[in-house]
Structure 1
Amino acid sequence: MSANLDVRRVTDLFHVYADALDRRSWAVLDEVFLEDVRADYNATEVVEGRAALIGMIRGYLDGCGPTQHLMGNARVVVDGDQAEASVKMRVHHVGAAERAQLTYECFGWYHAELVRTAGGWRVASWCQEVTHQLGTAEVFARI
């Protein structure tokens, strides 16, 4: 398999993640994360396991209005069946119902350590690094 194809497939996982969150397609995250993934969201939420990670994400987004997760400037280093990758992110959130006038936006990076599996590349370790924020986290009605 070519290195360029591996880089594209790893980069595509960030896009699959973003689309899954914006469409609330939670089952798609099984194609992104290993079952025993470890995730750190800016040191405010650290979770072990895909089910716990999806539950944490849903706790934020199920009570939120529309979101848009934008990814760009990916950097990927593949070493055999392992890879390290990062991508810049800009994420916009709008509140729902009585919070519809509120917005929250964060900027920074997602960092990942990945492994090649029989089903393709999967994230073993995931970290969100937020560098700055706009608006209010009150858009989230934690469920």
Structure 2
Amino acid sequence: MNPITKDVRAALDIFAAAWTEGDQSALSSLFTESSVLHSSAHGQARGAAEIASLFSADLVAKTSLRVVTTNHSVSGDDRRTVLTSYLYGVSSPSDPTPSTFGATLLADLVRTEDGWQFAELRLSIPWTDGDPARFVPWSLPSAEGWKLGDATPTIVSELDSPWSRGVPDLDADDAVQQAADFYARYAWAIDQGDIALLRDCFTEDVSGSFPPMGDLHGRHEVIGQMKSFRRGWPWMQHFGRTLHVTVDEAQTSAHLVVGRIIPQQPAAPNGQDLYGAHYQLDLRRQNGIWRISSFDYIPGWITTKEP
């Protein structure tokens, strides 16, 4: 892993742990006095103290659950980076009122004397599940979908994402790391409804099994079906973790195995990571960009110890 990616991911881990624990001091250390927060649930805030206060208040309100991060992507350089990530909050298995939530994070970070800090943080919380009382302090989207008077989305992928802004790839020369990180870009594209970005995730001759849409062939059919499918499920999030990646010697083709994380059941009773399905993806590298050439989504619970 690129050292910059490692350090930025470490800042994200601190954020997740501090949000879980309501640790206002740790949260404050991640922001500056000029930092800005745009949160669909919390509203807008500026400055380390105000932002940290909003997140730490979630624990007081009993909203906070153990926050887990997935689907990471880091781009930029050694002074400024853009981070995308999915997060989900999950209650303890022994909780009498189990609850979960999902979030999408987009952040611009700057390197300061205190390490990597969030200059601007955009956080969208598109869904919750379980005890409604846990989420009373938050502003949440209507179950009915868009209606007149709704707030503007916190994240507009076509304008805000690192891919739309042309932020340079930290691992432009590392084909293996690019392939390993590919799923984050693919999931972001379909979940954000960013069809232009999704188009760039497939080769022209892509084919495969796409439950529940069925067997599809060619980019036109795949993108067309995905675009229609997404309209009926606007708050989807495809949480996943790359479990295995192989890249050929010429670094032009790769095979990716991705575990599909189900936030409501992310672990087996023994604590082992559990996946509700997995992807078998063949990738082809074209003009330096990895794209899916063969797609197979396989339902069924698995653990990483299974072949």
The one-letter amino acid paired with 1:67 is: L
Distance in 2 (alpha carbons) for counterparts of 1:34 and 1:90: 25
Structure with more helix by fraction = 1
Residue by residue, what CA displacement relative to the aligned partner does 1:25-45 show, whole Å, maximum 9, x if unpaired?
221113312222111112651
Report what 1:113 is aligned to: 108
Is 2:124 the partner of 1:129?
Answer: yes
Partner of 1:62: 60
Deviation sequence 1:95-133 (CA, Å, 0-9, x none) = xxxxx8545422131111000111211101011122322
Shift of 1:76: 0.3
Name 1:25's counterpart in structure 2.
23
**What is the SS of the residue equivalent to 1:72?**
strand
What is the SS of the residue equivalent to 1:64?
A: coil
Look at both structures and tell me which one has the larger radius of gyration over its CA atoms: 2
Bigger relative contact order, structure 1 or 2 (CA pairs below 8 A, ≥6 apart): 1
- CA drift of 1:137 comes to 4.0
Relative to structure 1, the CA distance from residue 50 to residue 132 in structure 2 (aligned partners, 3 Å threshold; closer, same or farther) is: same
TM-score in terms of structure 1 length: 0.80
Query: Hey, which of these two has a bigger chunk of strand by percent?
Result: 1
Mapping of residues 45-124 of structure 1, within 5 Å: 45-64=43-62, 67-92=65-90, 101-124=96-119
Could you say what secondary structure the match of 2:62 adopts? Answer: coil
SS in 2 for 1:85: strand
* Gap change, CA 1:49 and 1:104, over 3 Å in 2: farther
CA distance in 2, matches of 1:62, 1:140: 12
Matched to 1:23, the amino acid is E
> Which blocks of at least 5 consecutive residues in structure 1 are unaligned?
95-99
Q: CA RMSD in A?
A: 2.4
- 1:123–1:66 Cα change, 3 Å: closer
Q: What letter is aligned with 1:50?
A: A
Contact 1:83 1:113 in 2 (8 A): yes
Matched-pair contact (CA < 8 Å) for 1:34–1:124:
yes
Say if 1:22 and 1:67, in contact at 8 Å, map to a contact too. yes
The unaligned stretches of length 5 or more in structure 2 are 138-307
Shift of residue 136 of structure 1? 4.1
Q: In structure 1, what is the Cα distance between the partners aligned to 2:123 and 2:109?
A: 15
**Which AA in structure 2 matches 1:79?**
D
Calculate percent identity across the aligned residue pairs.
18
Amino acid at match of 1:33: F
The size of the alignment, in residue pairs, is 135
Give 4+ residue runs of structure 1 displaced > 3 Å after superposition: 100-104
